[in-house]
Structure 1
């Protein structure tokens, strides 16, 4: 009887110790998450910043000096000197000490239509209004007194977000792009958004997101870059 009672006590003690260890581990991880959230919010002018440290246990990662995986989300931030929304970044092998250099990471941000429109207004002399539609990014212009929509496909070129002309709509009908006046073609083809990216960050793709809250979703890859730079890049 006494042996059985002692075994029960031992099991209970071990369970309490295990639970306590998990609690301590999670408290320590949360403290790091909070520190990184504050850092990103300050350096990247981020709002709605949420950082999650992956992997368990956390304390063994801390002792090793690198975190297996860190996920960063933000409602808004700066990316390459441009205001963006819906930031999502996943970094691997993140140093536990400041500036928390990430060995490799992927980044996705939404460049809103309003931001793209600002860039267009600064660089294009012909009045152009942008909209995100199912068949691509539409640049609305007036051609010989007729409203037309030049359909463009966003792409990345070096550290710039640029466009390729893929179609032309006049009165809602698709017509050949060969009918597009050269002056308009030159203006629309010249649309680009330069991004001030630090060493270690490169653009990898761009896709159109439709709707009033849409824009262009830009993806990037990073190597050996501080965590906060994944948002401020």
Structure 2
């Protein structure tokens, strides 16, 4: 091995340990010093090691120091109980409220009782723009709720013609509009021909009081529309 090549591992340990310590310092005050101390310990043992076994031990200490922060980062979603629609990791999850994840939203219990009571033989409890809005209702009721815009509301998962066919067949009686949907043709048709259900009928005070998730996963209001076969031309 060339002389300069022998320095590659120590340099890699120093640079990586320093980088990890800097990341940790963005969230914690004294923990970065633990990362630095562990990295330096591994580095010192690597230099003073006389045997192959000793050097392996030193390398293990250095690797543990380098991997400590990433290992903790990867565990934060589990520790925080996060189920975000857009996966993320880091100490910030431990201090956040946890809202914004798929299924972490609040289903409007009054609205849910209303659509369950009037669902009849419809296949779907209701349709809405995205999976983030649908998820809390699916979890709470165990019934089918259609997300016409797919996961984020931007995917035209079903055409207007197909949606009308469901309404005409009686499989779809309600649509919960968040006011934002990538499937604009269906949204426009529903808001044009659908019958608005007053929020007061399911315990709300206005049509915008329905709790749910907007097309980007944020909390937002919604309007419930009733649909029937006579509306399909």
Which TM-score applies when normalising by structure 2?
A: 0.28
Greater relative contact order (Cα < 8 A, sep 6+): 1
Higher-Rg structure is: 2
Higher helix share: 2
Which TM-score applies when normalising by structure 1?
A: 0.28
